[in-house]
Structure 1
Amino acid sequence: MGSKVDRRIIKSQNLIQSTFLTMLIEEGFDEITVKKITEKADIGRKTFYLHYADKFDLLDTMVKRQLEELEKICEWKKEKGFIEGSVIWFNYFEENRAFFEALFRSESTVSFRKQLLDFMKVQLSKKIGEINPEKDAEILLRFLSMAVLGIVESFVLNQLNSGTEKIAKQVGELLEQTIALASR
């Protein structure tokens, strides 16, 4: 039998995470301190430290949860082509824009970018078939992942003028074309 998590633990973690998310969106990661989180959540510092080592640990926990959601979406859309799959992918970022925007705007969230990049590389590697043996698959994966990460960041930060579906479809088309070229 699996061990049941105490509801008080879940309640405390949810309170800390929702408070952190609100502060992340309103103030930005760099301005947040554990003291500010505990004051705003009306909990003791000891309660915070029972669940998280520091604000970076809390951020990592929340990023992992987002990546788990993205993993579910990728699993669900794996039979779709790059264009339709990209639309689904970008819709997820649209729905969670505030969270991702706060992370992309912060100077201190390098680990988030690395985790998202690594996640993209894994997902793309699952979709890429045979490539020309004369080409280095790792370079292709890194190139595509960096390109998609850059577009996602620009999209989330409202630096692109097109709508979600148009951006997503173009990204999907570019992925298809680049992979087709690498297969030759």
Structure 2
Amino acid sequence: MDNVDRRIIKSQKAIQSAFLTMLIEDGFDEISVKKITETADVGRKTFYLHYIDKYDLLDTIVNQRLEELAEICEQKKDKGFIEGTIIWFHYFEQHKAFFSALFASKSTVSFRDQLLGFIMDQLIKKIDKSDPEKDNEILLKFLSMATLGIVESYVLNQLKGSMELVATEVGELIMQTISLAGQKNSST
């Protein structure tokens, strides 16, 4: 039984490794299952034992990345906004080629949706819930979309400045916006 588990893990790692290499070098839109199996040196049957198609494989890898991000967010929860945001952006810096390939693709809408949902889940923990009458949906969506846009621009090298500078400014803007929204709520 142990050999089977190791073979499955070995096959999945080979498939994911081949996929990631092609994603970064060629872009998601150019990848086919045939190319993945040839590069990974596995049969198509082996690929289809583990994944429905290249989108399923992408979702699996994106979910792994989001789990890693969730662990980072859990570790940084006691940090301030700015220090926590720098730690978060550091993760994107480490995996810049991967995220850049996803943001550059026309076919990875589900990735954007997953990342947006993840950002919203993290930000809702930071937004003041002291006023049960106040619906923070617009504030949450605004901050999440803004953060997603900045992450995308950063990963695609469309922003000037170091990772620390970008992350610091994002952290400050989130903190100021949440604070301003809280002040507005208490004065109404």
Flag whether TM exceeds 0.5 (same fold): yes
Q: 2:103 is aligned with what amino acid? A: F
**CA gap 1:32/1:16 in 2 versus in 1, 3 angstroms:** same
Structure-2 separation of matches of 1:82 and 1:113: 23
Moved more, 13-22 or 39-48: 39-48
Alpha-carbon contact 1:20-1:37 (below 8 Å) kept: yes
Check if 1:29 corresponds to 2:28.
yes
Shift of residue 130, structure 1, vs aligned partner:
3.4
Structure-2 separation of matches of 1:131 and 1:24: 44
**Counterpart in 1 of 2:78?**
79
Structure-2 separation of matches of 1:171 and 1:130: 22
TM-score, normalised to structure 2, is 0.93
Shift of residue 43, structure 1, vs aligned partner:
1.1
Q: 2:88 is aligned with what amino acid? A: W
**CA gap 1:80/1:16 in 2 versus in 1, 3 angstroms:** same
Q: Which runs of 5 or more residues in structure 2 are unaligned? A: 184-188
**Counterpart in 1 of 2:96?**
97
3-state DSSP of counterpart to 1:127: coil
**CA gap 1:133/1:183 in 2 versus in 1, 3 angstroms:** farther
Shift of residue 128, structure 1, vs aligned partner:
1.8
**Counterpart in 1 of 2:107?**
108
Shift of residue 39, structure 1, vs aligned partner:
1.0
Alpha-carbon contact 1:87-1:169 (below 8 Å) kept: yes
Structure-1 separation of matches of 2:82 and 2:144: 16
**Counterpart in 2 of 1:167?**
166
Shift of residue 77, structure 1, vs aligned partner:
0.3
Alpha-carbon contact 1:130-1:183 (below 8 Å) kept: no
Percent same amino acid at aligned positions?
A: 70
Shift of residue 40, structure 1, vs aligned partner:
1.2
**Counterpart in 1 of 2:186?**
none
Structure-2 separation of matches of 1:131 and 1:35: 54
The runs of at least 4 aligned residues of structure 1 exceeding 2 Å deviation read 129-136
Q: 1:183 is aligned with what amino acid? A: G
Structure-1 separation of matches of 2:111 and 2:86: 22
Q: Which runs of 5 or more residues in structure 1 are unaligned? A: none
Alpha-carbon contact 1:131-1:183 (below 8 Å) kept: no
Q: CA RMSD in A?
A: 1.4
Check if 1:144 corresponds to 2:143.
yes
